[in-house]
Every structure is written in C-alpha cells, then in structure tokens.
Amino acid sequence: MDNHIPSIVARFWSMLRPDQKEIRNIYLFSIFSGILSLGLPLGIQMIINFIELGQMSTSWFVLVILVVLSIGFSGLLNIFQLRITENLQQRIFTRSAFEFAERIPLIRLTELMKKYGTDLTHRFFDTLTIQKGLSKLLIDFTAAILQLVFCLVLLSFYHSFFIFLGVFLVFTLGLIVRLTARQGMLASLEESSYKYKIAHWLKEIAQARFSFNLSGNRKFHIYRTDDYVQGYLSARDQHFKVLVKQYAYLIIFKVLIALSFLIIGGILVINQQMNIGQFVASEILILLILSAVEKLILSIEVVYDVFTAIEKIGQVTDLPIELSNQNQERVDATKGLSIQFDQVSCHLESYELSPLTEIQLQIHPQEKIAIVSDSSLSSSMLFCSLVGLMDCSKGTISINRIPLENLNKQSLREKIGSVLYRDQLVFGSVSDNIRYGRDEISLSEIENEISNLNLTSFIHSMPEKYQGILNPESHMIPIDVERKLLVARAMIGQPNLLIFEDPTAGLTSIQKEVLLSYIFKDEQKTVMVATSDPAVFTYCSRIIEIHQGKIRFDGSYESFKLTQSC
C-alpha cells in the first residue's frame, strides 16, 4: 500500500506520454498566462505612481492599454488551453475504449478466474472521470501552482524578507501535501472499490432477476446491497475526513499568507521602504496568491478522483494477456487435426484436486470423440488448454505434431470451431452473431447454415430477418435457437476441428437429432464433444471417460456401455 502514490503518478505520466507535445503546449500557455497575470499588479503600481504625480501623460494611457491587453491575451491563452485539453480528452477516451476492447478477450483465463469479467469492464467508466478532471488538473491546478510561484517571486523583488517568507510558505504547503496525500489516496481507493462492488452486485441482481423474483426470501439482495453501501459510506466518511483536514490546513495556510504579507507590507510602508504603489501591487499579488491557494483547495478532490481512476484502469491493463508471435508456425490442414496430449496436468489454486492429471491421449484426424467426465471442470480445462486459453502446469499438447507453444494461436483458432460453456450470443443482428467480425462470410453462406439447422422459419418470423436484433438479456430466445446459432457461428468458417460442451443440454429428442446430424455430417472433420448424453455417443467412434482428473476409460461406445452396466 505504501507504494500506491508513486505508481499512480507514474501511471498518470505514462497515460499522457503519447500527447507530450500537447501537454508541453498547455504548460507553455500556463507559464505565459501566469507571466501576463503579473502585468496587472505591476501596471497598477505604475499607474498609481503616475496618479500620485498628478499627470495625465501618453505613458499613462499606453500603460492602461497594455494592462488591458495582457488581461485579454491571458484569457485567449486559456481558450487555447481548453481546446487542447478537449482534444486530449477525446484521445484518452478513444485509446481507453480500444485498449479495453483489445485487452479483455486476451486476458489470461487464469487471471480472469480470480476476478469477474463484467466487473473489469465497469472500470472503463473511470475514463469519464479522467476526462472530466483532466482539464482542471492540467489547467486550473497547474495555473494555481504557477500563479503562486510567480507571485512569490515577484514579491521577493519588493523586499528580501519576502524571499524567506515565500520559501517558508512553499515548504509548509509541501509538508501539508506530504503528510496527508497518501492517507487521502488510500481512502479514495477504498471508496472506489466499494463503488465497484455495488455496481457489480446491481448487475448480478439484473442478471438473476428471475431468481430474486421467485425466491421466498426477497430481502437477500437488499441485505447485500446494504452491506456494500455501508462499506462505501464508511470509506467515503474516511475520505471526507482527510479532505476536511487538508482543507483546514490550506485555510490556515491561506490565513498565514494574508496575515504575514499584510503586516510586513504595512511595516515596510510605514518605514518608507515601500511606496504606496508597491504596497497596492503587493496586496494584489497577495490576493492572487490567496486565489491560487483557493484553487488548490478546490482541486484536491479532483486530483484524488483522477488518480484513483487511473489506478482502477491500471488494475485492468496490468493483467497479463496472451502474446501473439507472428513468426510462430501456422496450422496448415485441409482435413481434421491430429491432437496429442502428453502427460498433461492442469492445476487450479482454488481446487485441491487437479482437474487434469497426467493425461496421455492421442486423437487421430477425422475422429469423433465424446468426453465423459465426473466433473465438467475437467472437460472444460481439457478444451481450454487445447485452444490455448489456459497454460498447463505440466506436459505438452501437440497439434499435427507441433507443440502448442510453437503454434500461432490465431492461426490455430481459425481452424477450430467451438461452442464452450461460456459462449453466448451478443446484442446484435443475426448475421453479426454468426459472422462475428469475419466480413468475408457472405449472406448466402449464412442462409445455408441456417437452412441446415432448420432455423429458416424462425429467422423469417423476425421483421428484419437476418438484420433482426437478438437481445440475449431478454431471455426470450428459445434455447434450441440459441444453441443452433452458436453452432452455426462455430461451423461456418469450415474449421478442421470442432469442440462442443453439452450441445444438447435442454433440447428435445427431435431438436437433438437435427443438431447432432449437422455437427457430425462432415466426416473430414475432427470432432470432440464433452457430454453425458447417450444420444451423442451414438455418433461417436470413441468414448473417453475422465474420473477425478485421470482417464479411466478409452474405447468404443459398445465397450463403454458394458462398463456402465457392471
């Protein structure tokens, strides 16, 4: 926890690194604006000197014009800064959106199993927090710091005592930040964590709304929400206490500035070490300093919000992802793939028993395999390791005699059609759900797949046919239609290996027959199906049973039936 702030600051500058030129321009404009703002007290000092002389000269008139122009030009620089920060906000939003879209599917499965995928997507909304706070952080906060520094520097020219006072005040301000920033940052992070817990829980309620509606105890979701809200409010109170403490310190700092400069300025005027014009100018500088401190006070919460948002987004971008090497071997196959599992073991930290233990298995091209397991986790791990979603803790998997580690994963997955347990339709048209970004697939190919799966009548019942929108969240898509659409997505690219998990679950015997006859129709493909459905076994030339992570049976369906009857 002690390293949070340095890492967050590093993340902040890393986020802005692609826009270094724009950031430099913002800071240059801030410096120029800060210098121009000094024209007001200096100009007023000189104007008062002219007034004391009782003269109306051309110099006086020119001086007034210059002061007004400096104010106007300073405002113009602020407009330029706003334009630059608007461009920065748009770029940050765009980069964040594409980075999330690219990284989330590539996050290693072992890391996702420790978290909740949809909770990670909620972190994207922190991009909006960064957008809103960036202009205040880059413009207002920076301007306040520069204004404070420039005013203190200019005051030091009036008398040497102001130099020591300025150094003391800067040291005091730094000490306040040093003593309270870490505590405030940690409180802000805890507050944000509870915010995401609440958002995640509300999404859970929405996804399981039928279960909550039909349950006898209707208070469970309220109790859980209450727990999270209490945690959030407690964290919020802690964060607010830190903010109040910082506000109090800065207000004391503000009072000390006003008191010190007023007393010292008055004494210097009385002792004739400063004239009236200089005194008025110094008082304007004091007002500018107080204004800068007030801006810093109002910016503290924004700083916490931006830094917390950066840390939350970083928790997603820090997750390890699959790395693709284009120089690796590509899968070249016109028929079914051959697969070799050589002493493969997979272990999960959350389970005492290994889902797969020393699996030794040879699958020949064009074979039709049924995987029977006492735990669906074993078959899921087998398939996930086969397609490269999960690394095995031991052993080697080879495709067409090439170790999986030496294969280009994208090339491999282009040769595999799969419907795994977690696969689902997405909000979009029928054609989008089948194409899944493969624009080379024509509508006629989609129509052919739909026809083979007896889905034509369902598609034609939709007003917009293949452009009709499917909404998986509505729960109104028949289960057989959903399964068939997923199968169509898997098979339309003419893959060489088909992998399915429980494709017939919840289907009637007639629906099973239609689906299975289509899955197994191409004898050239290698097919692997994880199932306990005897209807699938009749299509398979080989049954493999996994018990407690190990292969207990490997043979024909007839032999398997004999083992079950014993």
Using CA atoms, how far apart are residues 82 and 450, in angstroms rounded to an integer? Answer: 53
DSSP state string for 114-169: TS-HHHHHHGGGHHHHHHHHHHIIIIIIHHHHHHHHHHHHHHHTT-HHHHHHHHHH
Rounded CA-CA distance 23/88 in Å is 9
Asked whether 331 and 411 are in contact (CB, 8 A), the reply is: yes
Q: In the sheet where 356-363 sits, what is the strand order?
A: 356-363, 339-346, 394-399, 402-403
pLDDT at residue number 40: 66
What pLDDT is attached to residue 334?
67
Q: Which two tokens mark 64?
A: 């007034």
- What confidence tens digit (pLDDT) does each residue in 385-431 have? 888 887 777 888 888 888 888 888 888 888 888 888 778 788 888 88
Among 338, 341, 334, which residue's Cα sits nearest to residue 356? 341
pLDDT of residue 33: 75
What digits encode the pLDDT tens for the residues 147-192?
778 777 777 777 777 777 778 777 877 787 777 777 778 888 888 8
Percentage of the residues of the chain whose pLDDT score is greater than 70: 88
What pTM was computed for the model? 0.71
Contact 254/290 with Cβ under 8 angstroms? yes
CB 247 within 8 A of CB 218: no
Q: What is the pLDDT of residues 3-41, one digit of tens each?
A: 555 577 778 788 878 888 888 888 887 777 777 776 666
The residues that bridge with 369 in the sheet, in sequence order, are 528, 542
Q: What average pLDDT score do residues 41-46 get? A: 66
The DSSP bridge pattern shows strands 368-373 and 542-547 to be parallel
Query: To the nearest whole number, what is the mean pLDDT of the chain?
Result: 79
Residue 463: per-residue pLDDT: 82
Is the pLDDT at 1 greater than 50? The verdict is no
Residues 420, 383 contacting (CB under 8 angstroms): yes
Q: Give the pLDDT confidence score for residue 316 in this predicted structure.
A: 81
The two structure tokens encoding residue 243: 């903010």
What is the rounded CA–CA span in Å between residue 466 and residue 430? 5
Contact 469, 428 (CB under 8 A): yes
pLDDT at 53: 63
In angstroms, the CA 231 to CA 193 distance is: 10
Span 299-312, pLDDT tens digits: 778 888 888 888 88
Tokens 């495709």 belong to: 399
Nearby residues of 178 by Cβ (< 8 Å), 6 or more positions away: none
Residue 560 predicted with pLDDT over 60: yes
The pLDDT confidence band at residue 115, using thresholds 50, 70 and 90, is low
Three-state secondary-structure class, residue 514: helix
Q: Where are the CATH 1.20.1560.10 domain residues in the chain?
A: 4-317
Question: If you average pLDDT over residues 440-465, what whole number do you get?
Answer: 83
pLDDT > 90 in the chain, percent: 0
Q: Which of 391, 390, 411, 389 is nearest to 399 (CA)?
A: 411
Question: Measuring CA to CA, which residue among 400, 376, 385, 380 is closest to residue 345?
Answer: 385
- What amino acid is encoded at 271 in this protein? N
For the stretch 356-367, pLDDT in tens is 888 888 888 888
Chain segment 508-518, per-residue pLDDT in tens: 888 888 888 88
- Do the beta carbons of residue 67 and residue 40 sit within 8 Å? yes
Q: Is 401 exposed, middle or buried (0-12, 13-18, 19+ CB in 10 A)?
A: exposed
* Digit-coded pLDDT (tens) for 264-291: 777 877 877 777 767 777 777 777 777 7
Return the structure tokens found at 59.
Answer: 């110099």
Q: Can you tell me which residue has the tokens 């004999």?
A: 562
- Give the integer Cα–Cα distance in Å for 273 and 146: 28
**pLDDT for position 326:** 63
Distance, CA of 415 to CA of 507 (rounded, Å): 27
| Among the listed residues 210, 278, 284, 322, the one whose alpha carbon sits nearest the alpha carbon of residue 37 | 284
DSSP secondary structure, 255-316, as one string: HHHHHHHHHHHHHHHHTTSS-HHHHHHHHHHHHHHHHHHHHHHHHHHHHHHHHHHHHHHHHH
Please tell me what DSSP assigns to residue 343: E
Is 452:518 a contact under the CB 8 Å cutoff?
Answer: yes
Mean local confidence (pLDDT), 42-56: 65
For residue 84, give the H/E element and its range: helix 58-103
> Reduced to 3 states, what is the DSSP secondary structure of residue 439?
coil
CA distance 182 to 3: 9
Q: Coil, helix or strand for 448?
A: helix
**Average pLDDT in the 456-466 region?**
83
Range of weakest confidence among 32-36, 152-156, 322-326, 477-481: 322-326
Distance between CA 357 and CA 347 in Å, rounded?
A: 8
Can you tell me the mean pLDDT for 233-244?
85
- What is the rounded average pLDDT of the residues 214-242? 80
- pLDDT band with cut points at 50, 70 and 90 for residue 2: very low
Q: Which residues lie closer than 8 Å to 436 by C-beta, 6 or more apart?
A: 489
Length of the chain: 566
Within 10 Å of residue 503's Cβ, how many Cβ atoms? Answer: 22
Q: What pLDDT, on the 0 to 100 scale, is given for residue 508?
A: 84
The whole-number pLDDT of residue 494 equals 82
Domain 4-317, CATH among 1.20.1560.10, 3.30.1370.140, 1.10.10.60, 3.40.50.2300: 1.20.1560.10
pLDDT at 117: 60
Query: Residue 552: pLDDT above 50?
Result: yes
> In Å, how far are 95, 135, 453, 483 from 480, measured between CA atoms?
39, 52, 10, 5
Q: Where, residue-wise, is CATH 3.40.50.300 in the chain?
A: 339-565
What kind of fold does domain 339-565 have according to CATH? Rossmann fold (3.40.50)
